[in-house]
């Protein structure tokens, strides 16, 4: 009888919370819409929650308050290899302690022959790795082989919590070209992009890609050769009265994602080379993959006039989210549990003795944001097909490797927009409610055993 009661309770808890998960409408955040107090953190994908929503990618501009996001771990110069995955922690387990993990993952990273595979199987939205330490100006490089195929995008980028972005991206239908790009606070100016052709097959040949980011300029290099430089002085926007230049602490992100999902915008699909072919010759063991062997991160000193009050974390003191609003301080970065936020760092799940009603409340809380099919940056947010146009920028570099006439068609948005809300996003969405649902099951069992 007791066994039947336990089985029934388990089934009821799982079924009830599954229904709640399916019916729950994810609260959105963005321009003109802040997160509510009970779900205070605006994730990289424009959704409100607690826990992982408040860690890497939490946007202070659209969270309930500037303090809602957990302070970001300060930069650490380090060389990363991938002989194993010991330094990679899934986003369902990471609580903000950058001393215990180098990377946070979404999707399915795999080890192979001393290297890292980012995989993308049918029904998934690919794999994303984000560094636990942030970079506020510095030099970062990655050695990698891209994936290939229509609608398949490999990316190596810097992305800040307010969506300042610097990119190297690779579309799977062009294996001899890298695309560089930059964005300021997620504004989709596709004229910022450039193409760098003449690279030996990016699928079969490993190349080293480097981004050198200073307060005054950005330089992109391939195999030690500079291919592009962008001066901050050339990015002044008289309308907004600010520089449209990446200037806030950013995470290094490595990703493989499907631009060619039918649920993405037409512009994203076209830029990515068309719809993904899941029967392609480039699919191995049921998935596409990109290979990374090494990442190097070198930190630069904070910019002149920076608010340096400590050496542990980065925060913001103004929603303008510009260079002069970043504070380097000693605020802690680690949550007690995935129910916490920047304003309640010690929030924890109820104890085993807590009532089932208390656990039911936690079961509905979104704790882990899902990776959307539109990818982690700005190019994934292309809606309608963009009209052509030449770039107006005057970057310096190897002009033979830069096709500015097609730069309007480049660009990859790593912020995840509304275009990623179809099948790909649906695969990941229940992940955000999983933690509370499992806890409800545990409490139900403990309650029955205590009877």
Alpha-carbon gap, residue 13 to 356, rounded angstroms: 10
Active-site residue identified among 23, 76, 165, 266: 165
Contact predicate 153/412, CB 8 Å = yes
Q: Which residues pair with 117 in a beta bridge?
A: 110, 291
Catalytic residue among 23, 31, 169, 176: 169
Active site residue 76: no
Element (H, E) at 23: helix 2-23
Question: Is 364 part of the annotated catalytic residue set?
Answer: no
List all residues 6 or more positions away from 42 whose beta carbon is below 8 Å from its beta carbon.
Answer: 29, 30, 34, 35, 48, 53, 58, 59, 61, 62, 63, 68
The token duo for 209 is 């890609």
* SS3 state of residue 256: strand
Closest CA to 40 of 347, 343, 363, 325: 343
How many other C-beta atoms lie within 10 A of the C-beta of residue 445?
16
E strands, 109-197, are 109-112, 115-121, 127-131, 138-145, 152-160, 165-171, 177-183, 194-197
The DSSP symbol for 28 reads B
- Our CA dihedral for 105, 106, 107, 109, rounded to 10 degrees, sits at -10
The tokens of 251 are what?
A: 């995470």
**Residue 112, Ramachandran bin (φ over 0: left; ψ between -120 and 50: alpha; else beta):** beta
Give the tokens for residue 398.
Answer: 């190897």
- Which residue, chain included where needed, has tokens 């990442």? 295
Catalytic residues: 165, 169
């Amino acid at each position: 009888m007791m066994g039947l009661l336990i089985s029934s309770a388990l089934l009821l808890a799982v079924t009830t919370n599954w229904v709640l998960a399916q019916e729950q409408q994810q609260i959105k955040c963005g321009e003109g819409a802040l997160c509510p107090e009970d779900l205070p953190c605006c994730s990289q994908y424009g959704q409100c929650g607690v826990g992982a929503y408040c860690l890497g990618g939490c946007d202070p501009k659209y969270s309930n308050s500037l303090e809602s996001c957990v302070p970001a771990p300060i930069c650490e110069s380090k060389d990363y290899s991938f002989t194993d995955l010991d330094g990679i922690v899934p986003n369902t387990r990471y609580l903000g302690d950058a001393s215990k993990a180098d990377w946070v993952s979404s999707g399915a990273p795999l080890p192979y022959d001393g290297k890292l595979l980012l995989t993308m199987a049918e029904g998934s939205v690919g794999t994303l790795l984000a560094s636990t330490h942030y970079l506020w100006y510095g030099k970062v490089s990655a050695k990698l082989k891209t994936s290939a195929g229509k609608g398949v995008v490999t990316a190596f980028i810097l992305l800040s919590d307010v969506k300042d972005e610097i990119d190297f991206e690779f579309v799977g239908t062009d294996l001899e070209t890298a695309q560089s790009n930059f964005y300021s606070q997620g504004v989709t100016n596709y004229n910022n992009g450039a193409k760098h052709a003449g690279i030996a097959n990016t699928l079969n040949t490993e190349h080293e890609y480097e981004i050198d980011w200073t307060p005054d300029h950005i330089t992109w290099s391939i195999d030690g050769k500079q291919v592009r430089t962008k001066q901050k002085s050339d990015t002044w926007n008289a309308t907004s009265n600010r520089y449209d230049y990446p200037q806030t602490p950013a995470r290094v992100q490595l990703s493989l994602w499907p631009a060619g999902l039918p649920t993405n915008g037409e512009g994203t699909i076209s830029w990515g080379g068309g719809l993904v072919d899941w029967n392609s010759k480039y699919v191995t063991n049921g998935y596409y993959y990109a290979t990374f062997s090494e990442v190097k991160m070198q930190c630069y000193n904070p910019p002149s006039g920076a608010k340096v009050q400590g050496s542990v974390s980065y925060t913001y003191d103004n929603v303008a989210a510009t260079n002069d609003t970043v504070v380097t301080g000693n605020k802690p970065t680690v949550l007690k549990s995935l129910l916490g936020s920047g304003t309640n760092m010690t929030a924890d799940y109820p104890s085993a003795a807590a009532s089932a009603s208390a656990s039911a409340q936690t079961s509905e809380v979104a704790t882990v944001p899902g990776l959307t099919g539109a990818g982690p940056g700005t190019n994934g947010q292309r809606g309608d097909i963009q009209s052509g146009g030449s770039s107006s920028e005057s970057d310096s570099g190897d002009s033979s490797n830069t096709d500015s006439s097609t730069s309007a068609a480049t660009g990859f948005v790593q912020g995840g927009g509304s275009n990623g809300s179809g099948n790909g996003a649906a695969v990941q969405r229940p992940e955000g409610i999983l933690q509370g649902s499992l806890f409800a099951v545990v409490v139900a069992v403990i309650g029955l055993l205590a009877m």
